[in-house]
Amino acid sequence: MTLQRYSRAHVRLPHAPPFDRLTTALSDRYRLVRELGAAGMATVCLAADLKHDRQVAIKVVKPKLVAVLGADRFVVEIKTTAAVQHPHILPLFDSGTADGVLYFVIPFIERETLRAMLNREAQRGVEEAVRITTQLADALDYAHRHGVIHRDVKPENLPMRDGRPLVADFGIALAVSAAAGGRMTETGLSLGTPHDMSPEQATADVAVAVFGI
Contact of 174 with 77, CB cutoff 8 Å: yes
Which residue among 94, 152, 162, 205 is the active-site one? 152
Task: Identify the pLDDT of residue 12.
Answer: 53
The per-residue pLDDT for range 69-128, each reduced to its tens digit, is 777 777 777 777 777 889 999 888 998 888 888 898 999 987 789 999 888 887 778 999
Task: Read off the pTM.
Answer: 0.74
Is 141 among the residues known to form the active site? no
Mean pLDDT of the chain: 77
Q: For the chain, how long is the longest CA-to-CA vector?
A: 50
Greater confidence (40 vs 46) lies with 46
pLDDT of 1 > 50? The answer is no
Query: How would residue 210 be classed by pLDDT, with cut points 50, 70 and 90?
Result: low
Are the beta carbons of 70 and 96 closer than 8 angstroms?
no
Of 3-12, 27-36, 90-99, the one with minimum mean pLDDT is 3-12
Q: Which helix (H) or strand (E) segment is 26 a member of? A: none
H-assigned helices in the chain: 17-25, 63-69, 71-82, 114-120, 126-145, 170-180, 184-187, 207-212
210 vs 121: which has the higher pLDDT? 121
DSSP 3-state assignment of 209? helix
Separation between Cα atoms, residue 156 and residue 44, nearest integer Å: 15
- pLDDT at position 144 is 85
User: For residues 130 and 67, what is the distance between their CA atoms, to the nearest angstrom?
Assistant: 43
Task: Tell me which of 70-79, 161-170, 173-182 is least confident.
Answer: 173-182
